[in-house]
């Protein structure tokens, strides 16, 4: 075989693979857009038992055609404490079953000569035209799904055409046959090959398609194909483990559970390899690609049924693999729970991740605000300084969270997003910016308190009571803001505006009293400056808080 022939084969095959991968991405994105942000809610609410978790994981993965998207969502939900580790394992088991839908799709529609009629890929492409030019986002997403399926079938045709006839290269065929003729060692070798290639391609569906085509063209036998399929199941776990790198301990455990489950499944299959192979041959004695698809299904369904009874044992293995770190009771460390370094394939899922992270942002800000009373009740300078340091640390955390959320949303917005998604991104950017301003204001209040203490400035009971009243109103405003961030569709703007008016009225009243007291010489200059700065800062914080709720409402107007 000449070098030019080898290069031509590689280029043809790479081009065909690129079309196939693009078609999978397009179809998956279209399906995810149709499903929208409900996927996370479904994962959160329907995973109470192992069976419900498995069924949920199966259904979602079959619908969105991406086990990677499912497992990445699972990792982020576990990181945030919205999904138990046992629930995550059951969903991941279900995702393994759901991913077999792609193999059946390829086997039933994507292999063969096609006949003399209109190719199915062109027929689907024609049908997609009725959806792609609709004014409704949902209809366009359905069209994207259909054209994605059309391209997938076309990509399979290209892959099939790109496969060289190995009868023209007997030496290569002989080498391949030799590699597959060494019993258990050949099986182990091709498991490793399947694992590495899936990690490289980052798509078990693409590797499954390649395996089916190699079987269809007679390149490899059934045993080698089975080994490649087992390797693909190990290789596909790389996505969730990469997503868990920046997450917390719980997310890392969920990702490792995915790896453990698939590896244990491979080991069990190796132990009963020959009986399983014989069973598949009985179910499909002549059609090799169909036999591989049946094995793929039996492998995932059988392992899920068997290992679902051993979830506690899997969790023990995971606990041994990922050691717990002792964390402080107030979680005083910067950590992103939802945003992953790799974007999910649709803006809707990414925006749901950003929304969840902003909710976590709100919790941090409210916890930071809760430190302010400790500055008044501190019984020693050491206790006072310790509280100042904690507030300063949280101020740095809020800065980091704003930066990361902004960076994430900017990346999402730079892709292909709908008008609705674009408006939601702008609203979330405003929300994050105002949340960061709230954190800055809390820190400014703490610094004002610190200066007041250093300069031995003392307030009367009346001044302290006035500031306490202002602080209570701001606390109510923060509570309403946090509630609105949890449910965009039912944002309570009426209550938010009512509290904002109360804050402004109290500020006006305190400012009027302050000016009268200054004129009458009731308190000295330093007391007046510290007092006026504090109630002005509280009122400014109220402005930032109402800006957050207004941004939520503005986002809803565009979404609806």
Put simply, whether the predicted model's pTM sits higher than 0.85 gets the answer no
pLDDT at 266: 93
For the stretch 503-522, pLDDT in tens is: 999 999 998 888 888 777 77
Give the per-residue pLDDT at 239.
67
> Which pLDDT tens digit goes with each residue over 169-216?
556 656 665 676 677 888 898 899 888 888 877 677 778 888 888 887
pLDDT classification of 446: cutoffs 50, 70, 90: very high
Higher-confidence residue: 55 or 10? 55
Tokens 């023209």, located at residue: 168
- Contact of 503 with 477, CB cutoff 8 Å: yes
pLDDT, tens digit, for every residue of 230-279?
Answer: 998 888 887 677 766 655 677 788 888 889 999 999 999 999 888 888 88
95 pLDDT exceeds 90? Answer: no
How many residues in total does the chain contain?
560
Q: Three-class SS of residue 163?
A: coil
347-559 CATH choice from 1.20.58.220, 1.20.1250.20, 3.90.1150.10, 3.40.50.720? 1.20.58.220
Residue with the larger pLDDT of the pair 534 and 245: 534
Rg value, the chain, Cα: 30
User: Residue 141 region, left (φ>0) first, then alpha (ψ -120 to 50), else beta?
Assistant: alpha
| Domain residue ranges of the chain, discontinuous segments joined by + | 3-321, 347-559
Confidence grade of residue 500 (pLDDT, cut at 50, 70, 90): very high
Q: For residue 186, what pLDDT is reported? A: 84
Neighbours of 560 (CB within 10 A): 7
pLDDT of the residue at 180? 66
Closest CA to 73 of 263, 340, 308, 253: 340
Q: Give the mean pLDDT of 494-498.
A: 93
Distance CA 413, CA 408 (A): 9
Confidence bin at 86 (pLDDT 50/70/90): confident
More reliable by pLDDT, 77 or 388: 388
pLDDT of 558 above 60: no
Q: Is the pLDDT of residue 370 over 60?
A: yes
Asked whether residue 538 carries a pLDDT value surpassing 50, the answer given is: yes
Average pLDDT over residues 282-297: 83
């Amino acid at each position: 075989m000449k070098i030019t022939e080898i290069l031509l084969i590689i280029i043809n095959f790479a081009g065909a693979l690129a079309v196939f991968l693009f078609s999978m991405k397009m179809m998956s994105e279209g399906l995810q857009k149709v499903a929208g942000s409900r996927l996370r809610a479904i994962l959160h609410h329907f995973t109470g038992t192992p069976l419900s978790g498995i069924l949920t994981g199966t259904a979602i993965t079959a619908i969105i055609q991406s086990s990677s998207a499912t497992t990445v969502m699972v990792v982020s939900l576990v990181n945030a404490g919205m999904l138990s580790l046992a629930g995550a394992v059951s969903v991941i088991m279900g995702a393994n079953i759901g991913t077999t839908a792609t193999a059946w799709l390829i086997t039933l529609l994507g292999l063969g000569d096609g006949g003399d009629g209109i190719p199915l890929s062109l027929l689907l492409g024609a049908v997609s035209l009725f959806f792609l030019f609709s004014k409704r986002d949902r209809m366009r997403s359905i069209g994207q799904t259909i054209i994605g399926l059309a391209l997938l079938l076309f990509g399979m045709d290209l892959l099939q055409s790109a496969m060289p006839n190995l009868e023209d290269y007997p030496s290569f065929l002989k080498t391949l046959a030799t590699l597959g003729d060494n019993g258990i060692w050949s099986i182990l070798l091709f498991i490793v090959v399947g694992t590495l290639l899936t990690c490289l391609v980052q798509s078990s569906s693409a590797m499954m398609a390649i395996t089916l085509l190699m079987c269809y063209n007679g390149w490899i036998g059934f045993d080698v194909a089975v080994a490649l399929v087992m390797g693909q199941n190990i290789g596909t776990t790389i996505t969730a483990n990469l997503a868990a790198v920046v997450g917390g301990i719980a997310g890392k455990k969920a990702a490792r559970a995915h790896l453990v489950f698939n590896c244990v499944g491979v080991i069990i299959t190796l132990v009963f390899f020959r009986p399983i192979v014989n069973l598949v041959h009985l179910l499909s004695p002549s059609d090799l690609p169909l036999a591989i698809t049946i094995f793929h299904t039996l492998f995932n369904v059988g392992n899920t049924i068997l290992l679902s009874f051993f979830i506690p044992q899997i969790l023990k293995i995971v606990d041994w693999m990922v050691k717990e770190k002792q964390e402080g009771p107030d979680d005083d460390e910067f950590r992103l729970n939802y945003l992953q370094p790799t974007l999910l394939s649709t803006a809707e899922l990414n925006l749901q991740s950003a929304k969840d992270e902003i909710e976590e942002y709100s919790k941090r800000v409210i916890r930071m605000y809760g430190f302010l009373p400790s500055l008044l009740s501190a019984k020693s300078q050491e206790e006072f300084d310790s509280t100042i340091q904690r507030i300063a640390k949280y101020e740095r955390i809020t800065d980091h969270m704003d930066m990361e959320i902004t960076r994430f949303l900017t990346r999402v917005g730079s892709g292909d997003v709908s008008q609705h998604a674009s408006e939601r991104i702008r609203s979330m950017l405003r929300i994050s910016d105002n949340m960061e301003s709230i954190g800055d204001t809390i820190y400014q209040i703490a610094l004002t308190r610190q200066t007041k203490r250093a300069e031995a400035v003392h307030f009367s009971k009346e001044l302290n009571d006035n500031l306490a009243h202002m602080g209570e109103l701001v606390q109510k405003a923060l509570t309403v803001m946090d509630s609105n961030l949890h449910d965009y569709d039912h944002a309570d703007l009426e209550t938010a505006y009512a509290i904002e008016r109360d804050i402004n009225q109290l500020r006006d009243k305190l400012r009027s009293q302050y000016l009268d007291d200054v004129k009458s010489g009731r308190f000295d200059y330093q007391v007046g400056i510290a007092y006026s700065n504090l109630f002005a800062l509280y009122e400014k914080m109220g402005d930032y808080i109402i800006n957050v709720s207004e941004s939520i409402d503005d986002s809803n107007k565009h979404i609806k």
